[in-house]
Structure 1
Amino acid sequence: MKTGRILSVAALLVLFTPAPALAGESVHVKLLELNNSGATGTATLTALDNGDLKVSIRSTGLVPGSPHAQHLHGSTDGMDFHCPPMSADRDGDGYVSTEEGMPSYGDIFVSLTTTGDVAKASGLAVDRMPVADARGALGYSRTIPAADLPPGTVAHLKDLHIVQHGVDANNNDKYDLDGLGESTLAKAAGLSGIPEEATDPALCGMVSGAAAGSVPVGGVATGDGSAQNNTKTIWYASVLTLLAALATVLVTRRRLFVLPRSQR
């Protein structure tokens, strides 16, 4: 009798435990525009036999000749993270800023840099982010070693999503202060002269293929409200992480974002 109960419990655990990604499995992402960026794209995440992760991204309609910060966001804990709807624009300026989007898409899980580390502290390492060509097309392909990935990344590929940053609000094919003014994220870190256009998200894609604002793969956490509190905690931690990254990274790399005064 006890054996039967144990088998029943085991069967339920198997039934309700998400299947991890298998070696060689690929998941595909359709990148949808945010902030009326006019950009589109596709991405493929492939779990390799040795535990490495291959990431391929092709985007068009981005700000030409400019670096575009990009990341994997999400959680391995089944949190309610997804691409942000435009209703996330709390200040009503018509654009979802990085800070406004964080409660929706969560913390940086992997920074999709071209070289070097992929930790979330490199989230704004703009000199190691891909640069769109003169037509606004961006191609990215990198195999990230298993040792550099956060625990659970490959097993939870279907719970993650991709965000690319960098918009052109005033349609002049560059980041400048005339578009949306200074980046509120940078100003909070004590930095001046960083365009908001450079840090606002332009594209977001759910690995599940769900549209912005839809329920994520793992479903919406319900219950006593603890999941919502955990989400807020992660959001605040994300803001602090990005502010620290800005303070240590953008101070030395701001030349990529700031135009000479004669061109402002």
Structure 2
Amino acid sequence: MMPKRTCLLAALAALPVALLTVAVSSPVFAADTPAYQLDLEQLNDSGSKGTALLSLRGNELTVWIKSEGMVPGQPSAQHLHGSTDGHDFQCPDDGDDTNGDGILDNTEATVHYGDINISLTVSGGTDAGSGLAVDRMPVADAEGKVRYKRTITVGQDVVDHIKDLHIVQHGVDRNDNGTYDVEGAGKSELDPKLPQEATAPTNCGVVEGAAVGSVPVGGVETGGGAAEEGVSMGAVTGTAGAAAVTAAGVLVLARRRMTAVAAAAVVKTGDAA
């Protein structure tokens, strides 16, 4: 049988490994690039949610998005909405369905979150004119998840008013048949060639305030791919980031406590001898 002292020392040696496993799950951060967090919350009872990060290095804007609850296998139009002239737009809610047809369409929602400023396509143009370029938008995977990263050159007005912009993703499945069709909610008021399901907002998020940290090195690949190994979008947001910091603190305290316990055990063992 292993002596108590040996057991305690073995536990002390193993403890940092377990806690460091939690701590290092956070990504590596670039020291000089602030990031702004947006929590994407559902619209149209879509069940969609997600997290986005915006970072600026000069006039280069990098956008990371990780969302779920999208329509599997369908393109998800997404944009930065809002104003760069100081107007304070916010995300709408389902109560803003002014015509009472049971769906918050983009026209009703735009009153609250503003016009398209940047179209978050996976390739090609990112101007407002690309807002309905569904062939260049990310496609949700089989589980309804979207992973997106792209760096875009923006004007100084965007740099100066980045906190006034919001991310909106679009696409709902009102009749739960796994695709966008006119039977679900009719034709889009933006383009009758598209179903309303394809353009109705599914979630929206505003910048949560000042810089929340620094942007992760690496990140989520553009489009529907998985996150790079060792990098979790969840880990760069508040809760998981705080968990990593907490884990580091717990590690220090635990090591101190276990050291004290082990020392006491050594003394007790010596007395017994």
Equivalent position of 1:64 in the other structure: 72
Equivalent position of 1:26 in the other structure: 35
Q: Deviations over 1:10-62 (max 9, x none)?
A: xxxxxxxxxxxxx61100010000000111100000112x4211100000010
Specify the code of the residue in structure 1 equivalent to 2:200.
Answer: D
Higher strand share: 2
Separation (CA, whole Å) in 1 of partners of 2:189 and 2:86: 30
The reply to whether residue 162 of structure 1 matches residue 167 of structure 2 is yes
Max Rg structure: 2
Gapped regions of structure 1 (runs ≥ 5): 1-22, 210-264
Separation (CA, whole Å) in 1 of partners of 2:145 and 2:79: 17
Q: Show the 5 A alignment for 1:102-181.
A: 102-145=110-153, 149-181=154-186
Separation (CA, whole Å) in 2 of partners of 1:206 and 1:38: 18
Specify the code of the residue in structure 2 equivalent to 1:206.
Answer: V
The reply to whether residue 46 of structure 1 matches residue 52 of structure 2 is no
Structure 1 runs, 4 residues or longer, greater than 2 Å off: none
Gapped regions of structure 2 (runs ≥ 5): 1-31, 210-273
Q: Show the 5 A alignment for 1:242-253.
A: none
Q: Give 1:80 shift.
A: 2.8
Q: Secondary structure at the match of 2:33?
A: coil
Equivalent position of 2:208 in the other structure: 208
Q: Secondary structure at the match of 2:62?
A: strand
TM-score, length-scaled by structure 1:
0.65
Separation (CA, whole Å) in 1 of partners of 2:199 and 2:77: 8
Q: Show the 5 A alignment for 1:221-236.
A: none
- Tell me: CA distance 1:35–1:164, structure 2 relative to 1, closer, same or farther (3 Å): same
- Percentage of identical aligned residues: 52
Among 186, 189, 202, the alignment partner of 1:184 is 189
* RMSD of aligned residue pairs (Cα, Å): 1.6
CA contact (8 A) 2:59 2:156 kept: no
Ranked by relative contact order (alpha carbons within 8 Å, sequence separation 6 or more), the top structure is 2
